[in-house]
Amino acid sequence: MEYKQGRYSSFIKPLFAIIDLVIIITAIFLFEINLTNSYLFIVYIAVFWIIISFRNHFYEVQRHTRIVQVITLLLRQIILFALVLYAFIGFFKQPNISRLALGNYVLIVFLVTSVFKFLTYFLLKKYRANLGGNKRNVVVIGSNEKSRQLINIFNTRLDFGYQFKKQFCVKEEGFSLESCFSYIIENNIDEIFFSVAELSNNQINGLVDFADNNLRELKFIPDNKDIYAKKLKYEYYDYIPILSLRTIPLQESLSKFLKRLFDILFSSTIIIFILSWLTPILAIIIKLESSGPIFFKQSRNGFNYKEFDCYKFRSMTPNKNAHLLQATKGDQRITKVGKFIRKTSIDELPQFFNVLFGDMSVVGPRPHMVSHTNKYAQEVDKFMVRHFVKPGITGLAQVSGFRGEIETDNDIINRVKLDIFYIENWSILLDLKIILQTFMNALKGEEKAY
């Protein structure tokens, strides 16, 4: 089975956020606001601009977003930002700040960010329509009035950036979902749109499972079927309502940017203040007990199923089965120092280099050995959903008792369920909670840490 490797353009929206921050910081120096501490004010407005943007979904302007929605985002953003600015006066007791200058500052920020917002909005549309960039390959399953209208939108609204590839007519003789699946994989289709009215519940479930297990996005042209009972995301493409099966917070560019920023800061702290002195000490101890390398490198599957080299401190004697067999309780391959560093999870610390390099995140679904991933992808339903985000050093499943050796089918099934819950409900606060729980578990030791 093949899996899709391409994803969204991930740098555009974070770049827009950085440019907006430059605008709001630079504009401060155009007015005599009478600040007693400029650095405090800059940090204050930058932090709150990001927080407001995150809550307001200010940078989540999609290819099918209408101009009226962009105007609404701008007005809501600047009103909230203005309230936060004037709150600075009372919160930090700054009676000498000029309210008039602050008002002029808000007006300039609103005008400049609005011009930039509209400029980038229209330039991206021109880029898609005239240059054919930023395309998403799509197919439509179903043949009715709404599906035909949607295909017409794909073919006429080139600024949306959808490359319509094929329509599958369910009522045609010889139609089968298997032929759809083969076409989708062979032609690198990104998104699947289908009419709920034309498929049976069993066919819908099969389509959902295929999309989950092959990292495709599935979107519904709705009617009144039971599918409404699921957690869905509702969007409009012109005037056609479309439903998406799964909302993934980390597909939003700002969320992705914040998580990546946190990963860089956290991993850099661990590398500088812990690994810098701990690594040479462990290197000596590991070498004294057994010959072989200090670090153990193993291929694992990460974001979008891409393989990467995952690093650990070596905790076993070198053996030919290291890449095939998990460590088990009482495993004779584990060295004396290995037993200690595995029990305390110290052996995982080199993975902070993986985080810094961008292959992993501090928190996320734990990556498996390639041999195990291939096995579970075939045997465990929705296992591939875990690869919609970067793998983590720790994760919700690990702090919930499902770390280490997989002894029964329930171990991997429950691990996948918790990983999917994390993916669909991610937040910075959830990450912090998992990190704290991981630290507490390491201090008291875990039963399956062997």
Calculate the dihedral angle through the C-alpha atoms of 439, 443, 447, 450, rounding to the nearest 10 degrees.
Answer: 90
pLDDT of res. 344 = 87
Q: What angle do CA 436, 248, 267 make, to 5 degrees?
A: 35
Domain boundary among 201, 231, 247: 247
Question: CA 100, 104, 110 angle in degrees (round to 5)?
Answer: 145
pLDDT average, residue stretch 57-68: 83
Sheet holding 162-168, edge to edge: 162-168, 136-141, 191-195, 217-221, 240-244, 233-237
User: Do 320 and 399 belong to one domain?
Assistant: yes
Q: Which has more pLDDT, 242 or 159?
A: 159
Both 82 and 143 in a single domain? no
Structural domain includes residue 6: no
Identify the bridge partners of residue 243 per DSSP, sorted by sequence position.
220, 234
Number of other CB atoms surrounding residue 154 within 10 Å: 19
Question: For 319-340, what is the mean pLDDT?
Answer: 76
Per residue in 252-294, pLDDT (tens digit) is: 777 888 899 999 999 999 999 999 999 999 999 999 988 889 9
In a domain, 7, yes or no: no
Cα distance between residue 294 and residue 43, in whole Å:
42
Say yes or no: 416 and 394 in one domain: yes
- Total of domains in the chain: 3
Confidence of residue 230 (pLDDT cuts 50, 70, 90): low
Residues 216 and 303 placed together within one structural domain of the fold: no
Q: Let me know whether 368 and 427 are in one domain.
A: yes
Residues 434-443 have a mean pLDDT of 90
Q: Check pLDDT > 80 for residue 177.
A: yes
d(C-alpha 377, C-alpha 379), whole Å = 6
215 & 342 share domain: no
Alpha carbon 10 to chain centroid, angstroms = 10
Tell me if 348 is assigned to some domain: yes
DSSP assignment string, 319-385: -TTTTTS---TT-TTB-HHHHHHHHTTGGGTTHHHHHHHTS-EEESPPP-BHHHHHHHHHHSTTGGG
Model pLDDT, residue 8: 44
Question: Is residue 265 one of the residues assigned to a domain?
Answer: yes
* Residue 282 and residue 423 in one domain: yes
Do the strands 307-313 and 295-301 form a parallel or antiparallel pair, or are they unpaired?
antiparallel
The answer to whether 189 touches 210, Cβ cutoff 8 Å, is no
Q: What is the mean pLDDT of residues 414-433?
A: 91
Average confidence (pLDDT) over 109-136: 88
- Record the pTM: 0.64
Residue 3 included in any domain: no
What's residue 146's pLDDT?
84
> How large is the angle between the packed helices 428-444 and 253-270, nearest 10 degrees?
30
Same domain (yes/no): 262, 243: no
Higher pLDDT, 216 or 8: 216
Give the end of a domain, one of 215, 247, 279: 247
pLDDT at 229: 47
Predicted pLDDT of residue 379: 87
Q: Which of 216, 247, 278 is the last residue of a domain?
A: 247
Q: Is 426 among the domain residues?
A: yes
* pLDDT number for residue 446: 67
Supply the CATH number for residue 187's domain. Answer: 3.40.50.10700
Q: Comparing 7-11, 119-123, 143-147, which segment has the lowest mean pLDDT? A: 7-11
Q: Is residue 18 part of a domain?
A: yes
Using pLDDT thresholds of 50, 70 and 90, give the confidence band for residue 6.
very low
Q: Are residues 379 and 258 in the same domain?
A: yes
22 domain residue, yes or no: yes
Mean pLDDT, the chain, whole residue set: 86
Please answer whether residues 166 and 183 qualify as being in contact, where contact means their C-beta atoms are separated by less than 8 angstroms. yes
One domain for residues 354 and 418 = yes
* Of residues 26 and 381, more confidently modeled: 26
Q: How confident is the model at residue 408 (pLDDT cuts 50, 70, 90)?
A: confident
- Which whole number is the average pLDDT over 359-364? 96
Domain extent at residue 214:
136-247
Average pLDDT over residues 350-358: 96
Whether 7 has a pLDDT exceeding 70, the answer reads no
* Percentage of the chain lying above the pLDDT 90 cut: 47
Same domain, 240 and 269: no
Are 63 and 159 within one domain?
no
Higher pLDDT, residue 102 or 224: 102
